[in-house]
Amino acid sequence: MRIEEFDFELPAERIAQEPSPSRDGSRLMVLDRDTGAVAHRGFGDLPEELRAGDLLVLNDTKVLPVRLRGTKPTGGRVEIVLVESTGEPGSAPVWRALISGSKSVRPGMEITVSPELTIRPIAREADVWRVNLASARGDAMAAIEAVGTMPLPPYIRRDDGDPRARMDRERYQTVYARAPGAVAAPTAGLHFTPELLASVASRGAEIAFLTLHVGLGTFSPVRVSEVANHTMHDEAFVVPTATADAVLRTHSRGARVIAVGTTVARALETCANDRGAVTPGAGRSALFVYPGFRFRVVDALVTNFHLPRSTLLMLVCAFGGTDSVLNAYRLAVTEGYRFYSYGDAMFVRPA
């Protein structure tokens, strides 16, 4: 299976640079994975696609505003994106970070982000630095919240001072975000409102949560020709006992487990056994799902429209069928659907 099998033409104007005016105002393409049939709806119509007894599983990770701009002692400017806390003990938090212009960055250098926050590189490991965070008031996370911006994907363009940055603080975050730790949003969940979730529940569908902290690796391109040779990035997850029990109840009554996003699908399938039972717990998932994968838990999938040749698109193809999904993507381009993080959504389901 070669990477070019997951390619399609995408005009630049189809890449959404900002969200729809309302969260649930985006479009929803419904794809029948058994027949390839497509229907065009609005995301607010999703509850009508659900049945009593279905289970909707959501990712409650919270995106941190970890894109920071700092000044080196020489006066040069650098951009820092904090990727993940290492959890190392000590008085100053240690994070893995990407630093632009890092050829001139040296271990021990003090980078000033604000009067309240400085960053000191410790060591470089390939493209990633280990850095110390230091706050004048002793609370580095509060300082980050005060001055950081959301780590938007590279295909969403924002210049310094862009007024949309304030909007991004709200809209590049799900309404049910609870567990801080992500550096990218679980974008399928961005369409939900509290009212829409209440409508889901009113139809007799159950709602459960898990956590998978989306990392920057989700945007990493596949650099190999043969798909099977790709090494997947790993991400921290937690699947609560209540969610594992909800999956068991759902399948025992013959209803569907609906994953909201590829992150939820990966977390559930990481923890699944061959009988479709989910073992609760915490860990790191490096599960790479591409066509040929046998889904053991997920029966339907809510997802955004993804990049050509991406691991996210490969997962959707694995679930919905490569030909059906790529045909639907080409139709989405023709029909003016909006792509990627701030774009429209698909509901891929069996007949």
CATH number of the domain at 315, please.
3.40.1780.10
Do 247 and 102 belong to one domain? no
157 in helix, strand or coil?
A: coil
Do 322 and 301 belong to one domain? yes
In the chain the beta strands, taken as DSSP E runs, fall at 27-32, 38-42, 55-59, 61-63, 67-71, 77-85, 94-99, 111-114, 117-125, 128-135, 179-182, 206-212, 235-239, 257-260, 281-285, 300-304, 345-349
Average pLDDT for residues 321-330, to the nearest whole number?
A: 97
Instruction: Output the pLDDT for position 136.
Output: 84
Do 205 and 90 belong to one domain? no
346 in helix, strand or coil?
A: strand
Do 29 and 123 belong to one domain? no
Do 53 and 75 belong to one domain? no
Do 58 and 90 belong to one domain? no
Number of domains within the chain: 2
Amino acid at 26: S
Do 46 and 71 belong to one domain? no
Residue 155 lies in a domain: no
Q: Of 345, 296, 344, 299, nearest to 320 (Cα)?
A: 299
Residue 159 lies in a domain: no
How far apart are alpha carbons 176 and 184 in whole angstroms?
Answer: 15
Domain boundary among 96, 114, 148: 148
Give pTM, 2 decimals: 0.93
Instruction: Output the pLDDT for position 90.
Output: 65
Lowest mean per-residue pLDDT among 80-84, 119-123, 125-129: 125-129
Instruction: Output the pLDDT for position 52.
Output: 97
Instruction: Output the pLDDT for position 86.
Output: 84
Instruction: Output the pLDDT for position 168.
Output: 94
Query: pLDDT (tens digit, 9 = 90+) per residue, 231-251?
Result: 888 999 999 999 999 999 999
Do 98 and 12 belong to one domain? no
For the chain, the average pLDDT equals 93
List the domain range (segments joined by +) for residue 106: 67-148
Lowest mean per-residue pLDDT among 24-38, 135-149, 305-319: 135-149
More confident residue, 219 or 46: 46
**Residue 334: pLDDT band by 50, 70, 90 thresholds?**
very high
How far apart are alpha carbons 148 and 114 in whole angstroms?
Answer: 10
Residue 162 lies in a domain: no
